[in-house]
Amino acid sequence: MNTQNTFDFAIVGGGIIGLATAYKLQLKYPHTSVVIFEKETEIGKHQTGRNSGVIHSGIYYTPGSYKAKNCKNGREQLVKFAKKHKVPYDACGKIIVATTIEEIPVLESIYQKGKENRTPDICYLSAKEIKEKEPFIDGVKAIFVPSAGIIDYVAVGKKFVELIFQINPKSQLKTNCKVTKVTPINGFKSVSTSQGAFKAKQIIFCAGLQSDRMAKSDKVKTDMQIVGFRGDYYELTPEAQHKINNLVYPVPDINFPFLGVHFTRMINGGIECGPNAVFTFKREGYKRTSFSLKDTWQALTYKGTWKLFAKHWRKGIDEYKRAFSKHLFVKALQKLMPQLEMDDVIACRAGVRAQALAPDGGLIDDFKIEKHEGNIHVLNAPSPAATSCMAIADEIIGHIEQLF
């Protein structure tokens, strides 16, 4: 095998977690070589480039969880990184709005979590104060979260790659390069790809929507499976963009791990609305009619999927109706903004979230990282993984140090 194809570290997956891990490895071990394998033609084509672009504050998460700790740490690192390397971002703040008296207890429980998680400078807003921040939003009470913000995560990923090459020009990013098999050989791992064979001492799998399949190919026994949830986005027309100043979220359904359709000012301009969350018949399918026989068969022959459907069938039907009805989508947004008109929004894009599902139908809410025969697998990295990417990379490096 060509020595040019031999590296110290191999990262499978060129999303924000894989790239942050590669960057942190290169920073800590500048003389080691790192190769990143990305099956698409460029980085960030899936979850990294198809999310809301929000820098999350960590207010929602169970105190003491991986999510809570890594989100706070990750946000601080991300903002510092963006400042230092001139990646555009804006800590514009967001409001979480209760539109009815019935939602106030859940809002107050979120506030208490925020206090326990030491989310900076959160405070309540009255109905009048909501109007002062967002004149078109109607609510009875809200939480203002000043540390939330917006950023372009693909731009962050590109900056990671640029800095990796500056530190060590021998490191490489292999795009259009799909990993098919990993085999241990003489203290190394042989990596078979669509661009030939490579060798690495250590492999870190950050495969997102394909994480369970990569784990299975590495003979990892897992108690979960990835199920995709598509999220559709609309955007405000240029004439309606004045109706939102920054970020506006509803009080979420505490039984569901999604935050509800919301309004997001984007770092590159414009206002997006969404996403919803519907079971998808294709893991990397971004149209309402996208279908993959392999993905559908795998999802529908997994008992956890049916147990999830049984638990949340009413919610699932509501989400599906809304996915195919602009009227119902806008109606959900009108809870927050009664003055929103049907013509104010137009369909724009979609993303698919990789959600780890347990056999009992439980949605695995926290980050999940496992070691297997010297390899590391990031099995579950749902939101706020992008915000937390540098903190998750630190966790992964901690695992590597334990292995060696």
Number of structural domains in the chain:
3
In a domain, 65, yes or no: no
Local structure of 197: helix, strand or coil: strand
Query: Which domain CATH number covers 328?
Result: 3.30.9
In a domain, 60, yes or no: no
Local structure of 139: helix, strand or coil: coil
Q: Which helix (H) or strand (E) holds 126?
A: strand 123-126
Per-residue pLDDT at 253: 80
In a domain, 68, yes or no: no
In a domain, 268, yes or no: yes
In terms of domains, do 254 and 285 share one?
Answer: yes
Pull the structure tokens for residue 278: 């519907």
Per-residue pLDDT at 1: 45
Per-residue pLDDT at 254: 72
Mean pLDDT of 25-40: 97
Give the separation between CA 279 and CA 193, rounded to whole angstroms. 30
Per-residue pLDDT at 107: 97
pLDDT band at 166 (very low <50, low <70, confident <90, very high): very high
Confidence check: pLDDT of 147 > 80: yes
In terms of domains, do 215 and 131 share one?
Answer: no
In this structure, of 5-19, 89-103, 244-258, 267-281, the range with the lowest mean pLDDT score is 244-258
In terms of domains, do 136 and 235 share one?
Answer: no
In terms of domains, do 109 and 164 share one?
Answer: no
Point out the domain boundary residue: 146, 168, 187: 146
What pLDDT, in 10s, does the model give residues 309-364? 998 878 788 888 888 899 999 999 999 999 999 999 999 999 999 999 999 999 88
**By residue range, what is the domain housing residue 325?**
225-363
Confidence check: pLDDT of 161 > 90: yes
Per-residue pLDDT at 256: 67
Per-residue pLDDT at 203: 96
Confidence check: pLDDT of 247 > 80: yes
Per-residue pLDDT at 312: 84
Q: Nearest CA to 150 among 390, 340, 386?
A: 386
Pull the structure tokens for residue 295: 């993905």
Local structure of 2: helix, strand or coil: coil
Cis peptide before 338, with omega less than 30 degrees from 0?
no
More confident residue, 258 or 294: 294
Confidence check: pLDDT of 3 > 70: no
In terms of domains, do 184 and 212 share one?
Answer: yes
In this structure, of 10-19, 198-207, 254-263, 289-298, the range with the lowest mean pLDDT score is 254-263
In a domain, 259, yes or no: yes
Confidence check: pLDDT of 22 > 90: yes
Q: How far, in Å, are 20, 80, 291 from residue 277 at the CA level? A: 27, 32, 16
pLDDT band at 404 (very low <50, low <70, confident <90, very high): low
Per-residue pLDDT at 255: 67
In terms of domains, do 213 and 101 share one?
Answer: no
